[in-house]
Amino acid sequence: MFDWMADTYGLFTGWLFEEAVQPAMYALGLMDWAEEAFHWLDFFVFGLLGIGVVYLVCRPLEAWRPVERWEDGSAVWTDVVYTLLARLGILPLLAFVLFAAVQVRIEGLIADSGWVPPTLESTFPTLREYPLLALLIYIVILDFGEYWRHRFQHTFGWWWALHSVHHAQKQMTFWTDDRNHVIDDVIAAAWFGVIAVAIGVPPGQFPIILLVLRLGESLSHANVRLDFGRVGERLLVSPRFHRLHHGLLSAGATGKNYAVLLPVWDWIFGTADFDRGRYPSTGDPTAPESLASGGWLRQQVDGTKRLLRALRGRDA
């Protein structure tokens, strides 16, 4: 099933490239960049698909039972810019430029050495017969990694200086999921990618895993009064569960509800807050106002300044 979905997606992007992108590049004399353009189109189409799915799920919920209503929603539009740049533009470009050459080099060294890195399916061959079960296990392992990455963002001062760009939003919506400093996004992409490669996530399943996790993250940031009940709250991160995390605003051991998709990690490691009665205001009172209400570029610049201060041992 996953191979069929991957093949269908590949056929669609191939058709779109041949029918629309390639003729335009030929007319503009840019055919020397055809290979790069094809990779870029792949990123673009997948990002557009992800945005569409998230919008169709989250926007009706926010219109149904919003936690807050704002007369001026300009800060939300800044988060829309973050999402478009992260999923359609700047992050895929950084990932391609920074990691493509490194990946080729590493794969070449491994091939030359004759060593075959162990993967989840090579360690447990039975999983090859149950692709859906393998998919679920991959999601659980990657989500565990994301839990610890999130905790580290609140633990290390320099990382919190970057992550505070995300927490500064006072008008949190499903768009806020992608509100991150570019450096933080690059670290997150590398963290996620290394784990995925280490456990041998098949190329055909990787986009599905990414779509599931991104949908879960976007939903958890939604401006909606919604929890999943006493049992459900312990199975899946809800908008209420994650809003408590944004309302607590604490870096370090006092923070709560770090989980991205599965609250079980907070439950196991003692960082869970299952108080279903609260929907606190969000924002970071220690951050400059520009991180809450400034534009994308201003927030990136001020976030970088906070990072440099933190690296020098000063308060972020």
Which residues, in sequence order, are CB contacts of 152 under 8 Å at separation 6+? 159
Per-residue confidence (pLDDT) for residue 232, from 0 to 100: 93
Sequence-ordered list of residues with C-beta below 8 angstroms from that of 48, at least 6 positions apart, any chain: 87, 88
Given a contact cutoff of 8 angstroms between Cβ atoms, the answer to whether 135 and 205 are in contact is: yes
Would you say residue 10 lies in a domain?
Answer: no
Q: Is residue 19, in this structure, part of any structural domain at all?
A: no
Ranges of residues in the chain with a pLDDT under 70 are 1-10, 12, 17, 19-21, 25-26, 28, 30, 32-37, 39-40, 89-111, 114-117, 248-254, 276, 314-316
pTM for this predicted structure: 0.84
Q: How far apart are CA 115 and CA 132, in angstroms?
A: 28
Q: How far apart are CA 14 and CA 204, in angstroms?
A: 16
CA dist 188 → 95, 113, 142 (Å): 11, 29, 12
Q: What is the pLDDT of residue 197?
A: 79
pLDDT at res. 87: 84
* Each residue's pLDDT tens digit, 41-96: 777 777 888 899 999 999 999 999 999 999 888 899 999 999 998 888 655 555 54
CB-based contact 61:24 (threshold 8 Å): no
What is the model's pLDDT at position 30? 67
**Is residue 289 included in any domain, yes or no?**
yes
pLDDT at 113: 72
In a domain, 15, yes or no: no
Residue by residue, DSSP assigns 192-214 as HHHHHHHTT--TTTHHHHHHHHH
Q: Are 256 and 248 in contact (CB under 8 A)?
A: yes
Q: Tell me how crowded residue 237 is: count the other CB atoms within 10 A of its CB.
A: 24
Amino acid at 69: R
In a domain, 52, yes or no: no
- How far apart, in whole angstroms, are the C-alpha atoms of residue 141 and residue 196? 9
- Domain boundaries, position 276: 67-311
- Total domain count, the chain: 1
189 part of a folded domain:
yes
Contact 176, 79 (CB under 8 A): yes
